[in-house]
Amino acid sequence: MKGGGNLVAAAFALTALCYGLARFAYGLLLPRLREDLSLGAVAAGWIGGGAFAAYCVGVALALLAGARCGERTLAVFAGLAATAGLGLAALAPTMPLFGIAMALGGLGTGIASPPLASAVARGFDEGARPKANGMINAGTAAGIVFSGVAVMGFALPWRGLYALFALIGAAVTVWLWFAMPPGAIGHAAGHAAGRGTGGVPPRRLARPGLAGLCAAAFLMGAASTAVWTFGADLLRGGFGFPEERIALAWIALGLGGLAGSATGLLVARFGTGTVHRAALLAIALCHATLAAATAAPLFAFAAMALFGAAYIVSSGVLLIRGTAILPDRPDLGLGISFLAIATGQMVGAPLFGALLDGVGAAASLSSFAAIACAAMVWPVRRGSPPAP
């Protein structure tokens, strides 16, 4: 496909915008937000959970409206929603309005990924898709690195940072209009074979391996909220990190996540099951290392880098496996996988906030490390998908 490199680059930028800035920068800026908006840990968890809930709504909308709207329209709408959420966050004077801003960013993030997966499936041959999807998924890490660099490099309050992110979002959204292919989601796979692409047919939800994939994704998502929502707050409140060290730890997280661009290569070499188990074990180890960081604060940097790599690899494996289970609907395969992750995050964020208030950081982190290990019970293995 002509312009395939431009498509991957624009999709990478949209992923960085939606996931790295509109969705996960909240965790980095949470210590400042808690001071200015008088947020408790439970309220902070509910705002994070609300954003994840809006993400689930976004995924569902993308799957249901994809056949009518097409990849370009959905991707541009995702960029607009994420940009609007960031802009509202910069202006929000109260906690409820800020929660709405985060939900709007979550909505755009949920809409973003299904059309990107479909565009890759339509524009790349089967052998090239895992590499393209892995590179796009690593955009999350790039956005995280940028948010940390912005905190360190610009003498801006959190409102100014959100305004900067919104300006970047506007530029990325314009780029998407020119980079994304026109046409309807699933055109090449679904319509060419005489199948519809709208909605979620029940027979597709019964594909072997999909239920186990969703269970593993749900538990991984729940375990990840300890860092995504409360990581920076733990570093500041539990370990006494100043703001510059918190930003450095966030950059370490993002740099670790850049390893996720190699997910496709790792899967090709070792298989989805082995790679995913290793990623889940690394998430559990990250939580355990953070719990021990009170004795040796440098462990926190190692833990954040390890988490970044493990999360991006894990989500990349789930993406690759989901699209393999549903090759006739790659947007649905990705959407279901990421919907399960976000549902786990929606549950995990307020749960971790409640545990943090009730039993403290060490016990909360240990509990969520156990959740990551529990996700290994459901195997995520490569297999030949059945005929639809």
- pLDDT 10s digits, 138-150: 888 899 999 999 9
**Distance between CA atoms of 234 and 355, rounded to whole angstroms?**
13
For the chain, give the percent of residues with pLDDT over 90: 38
- Can you tell me the mean pLDDT for 81-100? 94
Token pair recorded at residue 359:
């039993």
- Can you tell me the mean pLDDT for 237-254? 86
**Distance between CA atoms of 278 and 265, rounded to whole angstroms?**
15
pLDDT band at 184 (very low <50, low <70, confident <90, very high): low
Given a cut of 50, whether residue 1 has pLDDT beyond it is no
pLDDT band at 221 (very low <50, low <70, confident <90, very high): very high
Cβ atoms within 10 Å of 87's Cβ, excluding its own? 20
pLDDT band at 290 (very low <50, low <70, confident <90, very high): confident
Distances (CA, A) of 348 to 53, 98, 211: 11, 20, 20
Selection from 108, 110, 114 nearest residue 89 by Cα: 108
Determine the pLDDT at residue 244.
85
- pLDDT 10s digits, 105-163: 999 999 998 888 888 888 888 778 777 877 887 888 899 999 999 998 888 899 999 99
pLDDT band at 311 (very low <50, low <70, confident <90, very high): very high
pLDDT band at 187 (very low <50, low <70, confident <90, very high): very low
Mean pLDDT is lowest, of 88-92, 152-156, 373-377, for 152-156
Selection from 352, 346, 353 nearest residue 52 by Cα: 346
Q: Which of 32-46, 64-78, 115-129, 354-368 has the highest mean pLDDT?
A: 354-368
Beta carbons of 222 and 345 less than 8 angstroms apart: yes
Determine the pLDDT at residue 204.
63
Mean pLDDT is lowest, of 164-173, 209-218, 326-335, 369-378, for 326-335
The string of DSSP letters for 315-374 reads HHHHHHHHHHH-TT-HHHHHHHHHHHHHHHHHHHHHHHHHHHHHH-HHHHHHHHHHHHHH
**Distance between CA atoms of 309 and 314, rounded to whole angstroms?**
8
**Distance between CA atoms of 185 and 116, rounded to whole angstroms?**
9
Selection from 257, 276, 262 nearest residue 215 by Cα: 276
Residue ranges with strand state E in the chain: none
The string of DSSP letters for 123-172 reads HS-TTTHHHHHHHHHTHHHHHHHHHHHHHHHS---HHHHHHHHHHHHHHH
The one-letter amino acid at 309: A
Given a cut of 80, whether residue 60 has pLDDT beyond it is yes
- Tell me which residue has tokens 């202006």: 91
Token pair recorded at residue 264:
């496709």
Beta carbons of 280 and 373 less than 8 angstroms apart: yes
**What is the distance of C-alpha 18 from the center of its chain?**
8
| Domains of the chain, start order | 4-377 (1.20.1250.20)
With H, G, I as helix, E, B as strand and everything else as coil, classify residue 124: coil
Query: Which residues does 42 contact at the CB level (< 8 Å), separation at least 6?
Result: 350, 353, 354, 357
pLDDT band at 188 (very low <50, low <70, confident <90, very high): very low
- Axis crossing angle, helix 210-228 with helix 330-359, rounded to the nearest 10: 40
Instruction: Note the pTM of the prediction, 2 decimals.
Output: 0.80
For the chain, give the percent of residues with pLDDT over 70: 88
**Distance between CA atoms of 69 and 74, rounded to whole angstroms?**
6
Determine the pLDDT at residue 220.
96
